[in-house]
Chain A
Amino acid sequence: MEALLAGDDDAIRTLYTRFGRPVYSMGLRLLGTREAAEELTQDVFVTAWRKAARFDPARGRLSTWLMTIAHNLAVDRLRRDTGVTRPTLVLVDEVPETAGGEDEEALVMDRDAAVRALSTLSHAERRLLARAYFRGMTAREIAEADGIPLGTVKTRLRTALIKVRKAHERKDLS
């Protein structure tokens, strides 16, 4: 992080190697075009550099911090650019086969862990999280769309996140 603060090229490349593709993938899925995803990715890493001094490992993981920056920037852009076309969202059902060298390993493990964590959820819970996180729908919007009580949606969102957290923690311990 200190190297990132100094704007060290190698530190930026290391961070990009680790998080560039997840950030880009999220940008592409939320914003719909390669150009927008590329612009978002650049903005995310510049923002990370600017805010590097504020990163506190005691308050959360680096991946959480960076993906939160990416998600907030993407949702801000989504709300600003009305009428943007977004592709249909599909959360992976199984770990994709990925060829590649050592650089790929950490990414594959992240994907593997994410897919395993999400596999502990029901289809309805996965869909619920995806609509909130990737579509930016509030609990109220989901409740109105599905005709179910608002309190139920809020409880299910929280329960689903806790399940994901616990499953992901088990991955860390194993």
Chain B
Amino acid sequence: MNCTGVRDRLAEHALGVVRGRDAAAIDHHLAWCAACRTEVRDLRGAAAVLPYALPPAEPDPSLEGRVVEAVVRARGAGRQAAPRRARLATAAVLAAMFAVAGMGWGAVMAGRAARLEDSAAEAVREQERATEDFAVVVEELLQQFGEAEAYLGLLTPTDEAFEASGSALTIVAPRVEDQVLVVVNGLPTGRKRLLPYTVVLAAGRDEVVVGQLDAGDFDTGGVAELGGQLDEDLRRYDRVLVRDARGEVVLRGMLESQAPVATPSP
């Protein structure tokens, strides 16, 4: 969505009535467009005035205590769980990494190697290199986040005629921006009417756009990656969809929490 399209709906967006895919597309635009971000900040500021003009309702006096309790409970749960969660998260992300390396990423790299008609040895080296790179990324993320959870999805084509595949990994951290990594392979890049592809995370009807992939984003082996930080709680998103420019879903997958791996007691 460009500035004109976004500004056409910016007042509605500030009023909180744009939902789902449209809202995700606008948010994606706002993430990089400072001018539209300034405009929406002003409009949101105006919208936030509205609830103060409602006839005030008096809450039960006990509500304050319950609010404090709820926050303290959430804080306590976070602190208590932190050491254990950190260990589990490490194990979970490692499990995710191996799953990606062994299935999703492996398939990606195998496909890449086949397309390049590389030797088997080169394909193995490529895969090892990619896995190592991925491990470094995950380790860096974990070091930054401390508490983190990993959700992994393997992407499969909706049309069996496509020989496409992919993997998606979300890293959910309670106190910093959540992260998402998506790798796709084998999507047609020669048909202009299909491009760009849009990658979204979905929860029911709500969606958040991860990004778009145009022909130039695919390397010669047909692999494209995207990812980054999203100002969203990604825990609630349980599906990954890749749509072509017509809006047709071409790849999809379920994001599943990585089961903790049993670790020996210290």
Contact = CB atoms under 8 A, between A and B. Distances in A.
Contacts of B37: 59
Contact of B46 (A96, A139, A162): A162
A68 B60 CA distance: 23
A54 B74 CA distance: 17
A164 B67 contact: no
A53 B56 contact: no
A165 B42 contact: yes
B71 A7 contact: yes
Interface in B33-58: 37, 41-58
B59 A168 contact: no
B74 A113 contact: no
A17 B55 CA distance: 17
Contacts of A113: 49, 52
Contacts of B159: none
B18 interface: yes
Q: Most A CB atoms within 10 A — which of B41, B58, B67, B74? A: B67
Given A41-B67, A64-B45, A114 B52 contact: yes
Interface in A138-156: 138-139, 154
Contacts of B16: 68, 71-72, 75, 133, 136
Interface residues of B, number: 48
Given A117-B49, A132-B17, A20 B56 contact: no
A115 B53 contact: yes
B44 A114 contact: no
A12 B67 contact: yes
A13 B64 contact: yes
B54 A12 contact: no
Interface in A108-162: 110-111, 113-115, 117-118, 129-130, 132-134, 136-139, 154, 157-158, 161-162
B68 A9 contact: yes
Contacts of A41: 59, 63, 67
A3 B236 CA distance: 27
Contact of A49 (B9, B41, B75): B75
Closest 6 CB pairs of A and B: A7-B75, A114-B52, A165-B46, A158-B11, A64-B48, A67-B48
Given A21-B58, A60-B45, A114-B49, 6 more contacts: A37-B57, A38-B66, A42-B66, A49-B74, A110-B52, A132-B15
Interface of B: 8-12, 14-19, 37, 41-60, 63-64, 66-68, 70-72, 74-75, 174-177, 231, 233
